[in-house]
Every structure is written in C-alpha cells, then in structure tokens.
Structure 1
Amino acid sequence: MSMNDDTLAPVRRPKLADRLVEEIRTRISSGDLKPGSRLPTEQQLTEEHRVSRTVVREAVTRLAADGLVTARQGAGVFVNDRPEALLGSLLADMTGKVSMVLNVLEVRMAIEIEAAALAAQRRTASQEADIRVAFSAFDKQLSRGEPTGAADFDFHRAIAAATSNPFYVEILDVLGRRTIPRDLVTTVSASLLQSSDYQQRLQAEHRDIMNAIIDGDATSARDAMRRHLSASQRRYQSLLHGGDLARSAARA
C-alpha cells in the first residue's frame, strides 16, 4: 500500500526559518509592518531573533515567493504595496489548516487522555523530571516572548514517554509539528493563538496535568488532559466558525 509521504512522514519541530516567516507575516497582517515599509536589516533580524544569516535569507526568500515582500538592490527588503490580497488567500488556506488541526485534536484525545493516566501510574523519577523541564521551558519562553510551540510539544512528548510504551511517543513523533499546531495557523490569528493570556491559560492546564501525574493520580491526570484537549477543540472551533478568523477576514 502506498503512503503519502507528506501526510505520514515524521514532521519534527518547526525550523527556525518557519518561525521567522510566521513572525514577519504576523507583523504584516497586523499592520505593524505597513505596505512600503522596510523590514529590519539582515543584521538586525539575526540579532533580534538569535538566528543565523542563512535562516534570515531563507525566510526572506520565502516571503518574497509569497509576494509579501520585495528585495531592492542596495536599499533593503520592503513590504509590498498591496499585501492584503495575498493575505486573503492565506486566510482561505487557514480554514483548511484549522480543519486539519481539529482532526489532529480528535486523534490526540483518543491517545493522550489515556497516556496521561498511564504516566501517572508508571512514570519514573527521570521521566517526571523531563515533564518538569518541559513545563519550565514553556514558562521561560513565554516570559521572553518567544514561540512556545517547541516546549509545548516537549511537554506532551515527555508525558507520552512516561507511559513507558514507545508507541505513544511514536504516534506523537509522526504527528510532529501538527501536534502543537498554533504556529501553523497564526498568520491571521496571532491575537488569539499567540497572546500571552491564551498561552497562560494553556500553561495553567499543563500545570493541572503535571501535578496529577506527579501525585500519581491517574483519574485526575486523565480528566485534566481531557479538559485541556477539549478546551483546545473549542478554541479552534471558535477560530473556524467565526471567532478571530472572521474578524481577520473582515479586516482584510
């Protein structure tokens, strides 16, 4: 049986260039970078985002391919005069992405709710420490205003590993970046998915899950994971059916 490599191949954490592209797109869509304005210089971007020049150049090349920016020899890189139409096409694509997210969440609920209960029953001291480390990394990234998707994935993966059943980890690795999808759908929804309030709510839900696992309370761990994933479903359903997505469409 043939397999679609794009669908089934393991997708790891987002590349640095992916993150930089999404951050600049978000600044354009929000109006922070206005049509005709110049992007920060290559040196400024490398220092601000702590990435290499190669990463910056890849990000700019992709933004130019999307028609959002134009490089002018000797002058810099500028936001195109009419990015709205291009952002509108990205918005249409966003609907499909949010639908994909809801499908992934449905699979995750079937897997991760029970994984949390097993982690509470089986975790070793080392595995418990890994969960704590991932939780703390999320806090640090949030306080620095950095994307938290990688730490979020590490948190859920550490819980899967604490089941001591390698297939739970394998499933999350196959889902890869799609496991924690907010970086995929933030071009027109940053006000919801990347806001500090939103991520603090996520972290409060993570804390409930972690504490139940540390306490060895399988029932509470199961319930906390169910609440967390169910809340994520409601957030993305709102995004799809009229919330932030609709407001972004109206602005475009």
Structure 2
Amino acid sequence: MAADAVVDLRIERRPKLSESVVSAIRAQVVSGEYAPGQKLPTESRMGELFGVSRTVVREAIATLAADGLVEARQGAGVFVKDHPTLAFGSITLDVGNKISHALNVIEVRMGLEIESAGLAALRRNAAQEAQIHEAFFEFDRLLERGEATGKSDFAFHRAIAAATNNSYYVEVLDALGMRAIPCDVASPWGTDSMLSRNYQEGLQREHLAILKAISASDPEAARAAMRAHLTASQERYRALLSGQQAKWISGTAERKG
C-alpha cells in the first residue's frame, strides 16, 4: 500500500498556475460569488489577487471561456455567462491534470454519448447532420495543417449531442467543456503521444465510423461505434498510466544501481 502511494506521488505532475486560477474562479462562479452577467475583476486585479502574472490570468480566462463559463467583451472586460451549464459547474470544479480524472471524465462521457449517438442516428435533421460532417472535416483540415484539433473534436461530439434534439445532452457536455478532449495543446492531459499525428488519425477513423452509422440512420451501429471510440480512449489513458509507472520503476532501479 505504501509503495503504491509513493508511485502516485512520483508520477503526478504539479498543476500549472493557470489551472489553479481556473479552479478558483470556477468555484467562485459555481458558488454564486460571481453571478451570471457580472463582470470579473481586471487582469491586473486578478493577478494581484492570485499572485500571478497577467499572462497566467489570460490563459485561465481562455480556458474558462472555452468551457462556456465566461465571455470576453472587447473594450468592456470579462463577464460570467448566463448559461445553463453553470448548473452543472461542479462537474468540472475539481478536474485537474491527473490521469484518474481523465478516466472519470471518459466514464461520464460513455454514459452520455453512447446513447446520444444512437438518438442522433434516429432524430437528426439535415442541418444537424451537416454540422456533424463539418466538424469532422474541420478536424481533418486542422490536422493537415498541423494545428490543434481539440476544438473541432469537441465540436464533432457536441454536434452529435445537438442532433439528439434533447438540450440536456448538450448542456452536460458543455459543462465538461474542452477538458473532455485530450488531443489539444490546451488540455491538461495532453501529451506528446496524444498530440501525435498517428494518434489523431486514429481518432478520425473512430469518428468516421460514428459518422457513417449516424448518416445510415443505424442507432445500434452508432452506439457501438461511440462505445468503441470512448473505450479506446480509456485504454490509451490506461496505457499512458502504465508507461508512467514503468518509467518511474526504471528510474528508481537506475538510482539504486
């Protein structure tokens, strides 16, 4: 038991400063300290409050904006969004950069997205199907240009949720926000292996299977394809965790040697 605890401490990366600021502001928003529509303090003031630079504050605000909690209005400041995802804000309150948290998020997504894929195959209209296609091809375009694909990956899954024509699927997915997507430089769980072209091409093949099933109005195939996609993501994270443990064991052996 003691050895296991040591391994956990060794392989865990310390949070970035911006992630700590994100968690603090998110807690204030969820608790109601900052109400919907309320303006946040200026970058300078937040830097003073949190003891960080304005660059760190900007990075934190960008993450919160991507998660749908705040919006920046040019010349006016940053405001808390009046958005139903605030009701689910506690879902991501404590999400950090541990692989265990990433696995927990994927488990939640499996409960949500497997059924949403099946419903999308049955209920989507032409415009919604087009949005799913557009997100798929935007991912491909960004991949070819060597740019971050995380936002288009999230857009693909969100478009499927929207195609259920049940707004709650979208709301819960929005609450998870970009932290649900590992293959982006902004994600706390992104690694060189997860940002590689081969990794992302594999994601696209999985996405294509989901897209084909939805387009064919085959709900069971859509559910199966989404289940396969998210299960593969779980396995990739478990492999990453095993690799970190092996690296630590190897490093310990070398030091003792």
Q: TM-score range by the shorter chain?
A: 0.5 to 0.7
2:219 matched to 1:218? yes
Q: CA deviation at 1:240?
A: 1.5
Q: Residues 140-184 of structure 1, C-alpha deviation per residue, up to 9 Å, x if partnerless? A: 000000010000000000000000000000001100111113432
> Quick check: 2:99–2:189 contact (8 Å CA) kept in 1?
no
Could you tell me how far apart the structure 2 residues matched to 1:118 and 1:245 are? 41
Aligned-pair identity in percent equals 51
Alignment map for 1:49-60 (pairs within 5 Å) = 58=55
> Quick check: 1:102–1:233 contact (8 Å CA) kept in 2?
yes
Match of 1:239 in 2: 240
Alignment map for 1:107-118 (pairs within 5 Å) = 107-118=108-119
2:26 matched to 1:6? yes
Q: Residues 52-108 of structure 1, C-alpha deviation per residue, up to 9 Å, x if partnerless? A: xxxxx837x97xxxxxxxxxxxxxxxxxxxxxxxxxxxxxxxx95211110000000
Q: Which amino acid aligns with 1:206?
A: H
Match of 2:42 in 1: none
Q: Which amino acid aligns with 2:147?
A: E
> Quick check: 1:239–1:245 contact (8 Å CA) kept in 2?
no
Match of 2:88 in 1: none
- SS where residue 194 of structure 1 aligns? coil
Q: Residues 180-237 of structure 1, C-alpha deviation per residue, up to 9 Å, x if partnerless? A: 13432466x21x1010000000000000000000000000000000000000000011
**Which ranges in structure 2 are unaligned for 5 or more consecutive residues?**
1-23, 31-53, 60-95, 252-257
> Quick check: 1:186–1:194 contact (8 Å CA) kept in 2?
no
Could you tell me how far apart the structure 2 residues matched to 1:245 and 1:162 are? 42
> Quick check: 1:239–1:246 contact (8 Å CA) kept in 2?
no
Match of 2:161 in 1: 160
Could you tell me how far apart the structure 2 residues matched to 1:245 and 1:124 are? 48
Could you tell me how far apart the structure 2 residues matched to 1:211 and 1:197 are? 21
Match of 2:205 in 1: 204
**Equivalenced residues, count:** 166
Q: Residues 5-53 of structure 1, C-alpha deviation per residue, up to 9 Å, x if partnerless? A: 73795xxxxxxxxxxxxxxxxxxxxxxxxxxxxxxxxxxxxxxxxxxxx
Match of 1:172 in 2: 173
Residue 130 to residue 244, structure 1, CA distance change in 2 (3 Å)? farther
Alignment map for 1:125-164 (pairs within 5 Å) = 125-164=126-165
Match of 1:40 in 2: none
Could you tell me how far apart the structure 1 residues matched to 2:171 and 2:134 are? 20
Q: Which amino acid aligns with 2:55?
A: E
> Quick check: 1:213–1:221 contact (8 Å CA) kept in 2?
yes
Match of 2:255 in 1: none
Could you tell me how far apart the structure 1 residues matched to 2:178 and 2:102 are? 11
Match of 2:72 in 1: none
Could you tell me how far apart the structure 2 residues matched to 1:240 and 1:176 are? 23
Q: Residues 125-154 of structure 1, C-alpha deviation per residue, up to 9 Å, x if partnerless? A: 000000000000000000000010000000
Match of 1:80 in 2: none
| RMSD after superposition | 2.9
